[in-house]
Amino acid sequence: MADTTSDRTATGQPALRRVIGSRLLLFFVVGDIIGTGIYALTGVVAGRVGGALWLPFLLAFAVAFMTAFSYLELVGKYPRAAGAALYTNKAFRRPFLTFLVAFAVMSSGITSASSAAVAFGGTYLAEFVELPWWPWVVPVLFIVGLGLINFRGVSESVKTNFVLTLIELSGLAIIIGIGVWAVLNGNGEPGRLTEFNTEDQTWLVAISSATSLAFFAMVGFEDSVNMAEECKDPARIFPKAMLWAMVIAATIYILVSVTSSLLVPAGELAEAKSGALLKVIDVGAPGFPREVFSAIGLFAVINSALINMLMASRLLYGMANERIIPPVFGTVHPFRRSPWVAIVFTSAIAAVLVSTVDIGVLGGTTALLLLAVFAVVNVAVLVLRREKVEHEHFRAPTVLPVVAALCCLYLVIPWLSGRPWRDYTVALILLGVGVVLWGVNWLFMRASHREPPEMHPEKLS
């Protein structure tokens, strides 16, 4: 296999250090998946599907698992950062399409962080302090706090991720343990596991709608491809680490959803919204201190939100440096060396979202944007089969990208997926902002008689 390491990159910059082995990569992927999704949206998913809460998580895992094979083939062929934007650019050579994919990924980071902000203020922090203000005040302050940390400069290490992953997993282990204990003591209602919410919809729409939202809980694995340049022999270690991490995360999610449905009726879970897991604790183990789980929940949503806001601001900064959007968004603070304009812009969008949009819509919009991106990636892997590389790499069975692309498209199309139109409205507004920035930059470039911008997503990291 060709050695993909070198002391210098093609641009003459020092190469990143390859320090991540298979075990650290496994925990990185698990930690990236486990987080806000299951902690914040279990109740909302229950409201869409009913007592068969486990099924949407299982189906979402199946779609994500098939898509992961496409990512594994592509990261093996092109072990560089930038992920979906890089693959789209190589496959289709359409700068505007590449821009839309990159901006969709950035927007998904903002909506995901916004979901975490709502869960932070509306559920977990409320267990410790009285919050007499309007509901949107604490989430907005949370976003401002993330922006300040982002501005100061945050260097996330995989070892820190390892610790935070253990904390997040401990919270879900508590839920599973409570469920096992309660069932062994004769509690729980197994009949709920096959109940579907068909009051105003068919069972197929109920499952599709819930799956399209539950998909939010399975995303995160795709972020790991941005660590490719810091992994030891990525073409070899990525397949086993990513696939096992997804199986571990999905198993935990299904156990948590089964436990939740056994102990609490779907209507009560839906009413609790982001506090659904706290409701499970109240029913299954009334004497268990809610503060312990709430503290774990705080760690989970803070970590998820911070990672997503870091990603969103850096992607915006990278696009500005590539002259895809106005260069002002690439402005770096002279002392902190952080992209402060990009941070302010992404934080402002997140603040508007948390003060105006429901948490279910935020999670649904995140899933919608990423499902569209995944559909493009699943097609891109087939297109790029014609481009050969010298080193050996993982190759996905051809049927998987085809089926995954069709499933992703099915969950994106509104009259098939049963997804609320509000998800599309928020997604289109966010992408519309990006198109406006693209247009302003295009007009500026044309007025200054410069060449239209080309996109080089490998530099977006």
Can you tell me which residue has the tokens 């002259």? 323
Q: How far apart are CA 109 and CA 106, in angstroms?
A: 5
Q: Are 272 and 43 in contact (CB under 8 A)?
A: yes
pLDDT at 12: 47
CATH superfamily of 24-459: Amino acid/polyamine transporter I (1.20.1740.10)
In single-letter form, the type of residue at position 430 comes to: L
pLDDT at 450: 65
Helices (H) and strands (E) in the chain, counts: 17, 0
State the CB neighbour count (10 A cutoff) for residue 404: 26
Report which of 281, 254, 77, 252 is spatially closest to residue 169, judged by C-alpha positions. Answer: 252
Domain boundaries defined on the chain: 24-459
CA atoms within 13 A on the CB side of 3: 4
Write the CA distances from 43 to 273, 341, 342, integer angstroms. Answer: 4, 36, 33
Q: How far apart are CA 298 and CA 261, in angstroms?
A: 23
- Backbone Cα Rg of the chain: 22
Report which of 2, 152, 89 is spatially closest to residue 459, judged by C-alpha positions. Answer: 89
Say how many residues make up the chain.
461
pLDDT at 153: 57
Q: How far apart are CA 330 and CA 454, in angstroms?
A: 16
Q: How far apart are CA 380 and CA 383, in angstroms?
A: 5
DSSP 3-state of 8: strand
| Cβ density class 15-54: b for 16+ within 10 Å, e for less | ebebebeeebbbbbbbbbbbbbbbbbbbbbbbbbbbbbbb
Q: Could you read off the pLDDT tens digit of each residue along the chain, which spans 461 residues?
A: 444 444 544 444 444 456 677 787 887 788 778 877 788 788 889 999 999 999 999 999 999 999 999 998 988 888 765 678 878 888 998 888 888 988 898 898 888 888 888 888 777 887 787 766 666 788 888 899 888 877 775 444 455 667 777 888 898 999 999 988 888 888 888 999 999 987 777 888 889 989 988 888 888 787 766 666 567 777 778 888 889 999 999 999 999 999 999 999 999 999 988 788 999 999 988 888 888 988 888 888 887 787 788 778 877 887 787 777 888 888 887 776 778 888 899 999 999 998 888 877 888 888 899 999 999 999 999 999 988 887 778 899 999 999 999 999 999 988 877 788 888 999 999 999 989 988 888 888 777 766 656 666 555 54
